[in-house]
Amino acid sequence: MHKINIAIDGPAGSGKSTVARKAAEQLFYLYLDTGAMYRFLTFRALREGIPEHDEEALLQLLTNIEFSLVNEGEKGVKLSVNGGPLGEGIRSQAVTEKVSAISAHEKIRKEMVTRQQQLAKEKGVVLDGRDIGTFVLPEAELKIYLYASVDERSRRRYLENLENHRPSDIDVIKEEITRRDHLDSTRQIAPLTQAKDAFPLDTTNLTIEEAVAHICHLAREKE
């Protein structure tokens, strides 16, 4: 048995992060949430007042941010920034609104991709994002394209917000998801698309456990 890398891509709210995290736990793999990296950069840019179109200033900001995977014992391995937690702020509405614009810059993507490749170089990593199977790890041994209907994805985000005591409106979420899907799949650099060799997995009528079991089964066949 040898460890592999698993690329999980798909649109906003398709359940990627929950499924990827749980699959990683079951396989004793690391989990890398690449969306959280773009979200953190956006969070910091908002805090520093850097406009979303200022690519050079954003790149400079990114240079001072160090991402790592830190082993927190029982809590598992967590993505950390400059040694600490990324914080809840990365999930705020303000960040969600701006993140697609900031992540569309070529230089930002190039730098992020290099760092993600670095973090996954020892293998045994489940990465979720938009361009993992197509750009970050085109050689990943297992690629999954996770999707679900817009209604189902909106419903899940709504419930997740309620659970985390965040204010939530399902119609606003649906609009936001549709807008982000459009921006992420029509951008010039590394748009969201299913890799040719990815397994498509429609999670509309699947529970999280079923989706995780499916991915773990595919992974074990490749290990």
Annotated binding site: 10-18
The whole-angstrom separation of Cα 202 and Cα 106 is 30
Q: Does 130 bind ligand C5P (CB under 6 A)?
A: yes
**Minimum CB distance to ligand C5P, residue 220 (Å):** 25
Q: Does 143 bind ligand C5P (CB under 6 A)?
A: no
- Chosen residue from 99, 108, 211, 212 binding ligand C5P by CB under 6 A: 99
- Chosen residue from 29, 38, 147, 158 binding ligand C5P by CB under 6 A: 38
- Tell me the CA distances in angstroms from 209 to 3, 76, 81, 107, 212, one per residue in order: 22, 19, 29, 37, 5
Q: Give residues 48-67 in contact with ligand C5P (rule: CB under 6 A).
A: none
Q: Does 176 bind ligand C5P (CB under 6 A)?
A: no
Q: Does 129 bind ligand C5P (CB under 6 A)?
A: yes
Q: Does 100 bind ligand C5P (CB under 6 A)?
A: yes
Secondary-structure breakdown of the chain: helix, strand, coil percentages, each rounded to the nearest 5: 55, 15, 30
76-87 per-residue burial string, b: 16 or more CB within 10 A, e: under 16: ebbbebeeeebe
**CA 213 from centre of chain:** 20
Q: Which two tokens stand for residue 39?
A: 């979200």
Q: Does 131 bind ligand C5P (CB under 6 A)?
A: yes
The whole-angstrom separation of Cα 24 and Cα 20 is 6
CA atoms 153, 158, 163, 166: torsion sign: positive
- Chosen residue from 30, 41, 180, 211 binding ligand C5P by CB under 6 A: 180
Stretch that binds ligand C5P, among 64-72, 127-135, 168-176, 211-219 (CB under 6 A): 127-135
Stretch that binds ligand C5P, among 32-40, 155-163, 194-202, 204-212 (CB under 6 A): 32-40
Four-CA torsion 182, 184, 187, 189, nearest 10 degrees = -160
Q: Are strands 77-81 and 67-71 parallel, antiparallel or unpaired?
A: antiparallel
Q: Does 12 bind ligand C5P (CB under 6 A)?
A: yes
- Chosen residue from 34, 134, 154, 203 binding ligand C5P by CB under 6 A: 34
Q: For residues 134 and 216, which CB has a smaller minimum distance to ligand C5P in the complex?
A: 134
The whole-angstrom separation of Cα 198 and Cα 6 is 10
Stretch that binds ligand C5P, among 126-134, 163-171, 200-208, 215-223 (CB under 6 A): 126-134
Q: Would you tell me which residues interact with ligand C5P (CB under 6 A)?
A: 12, 34-35, 38-39, 99-100, 103, 129-131, 180, 184
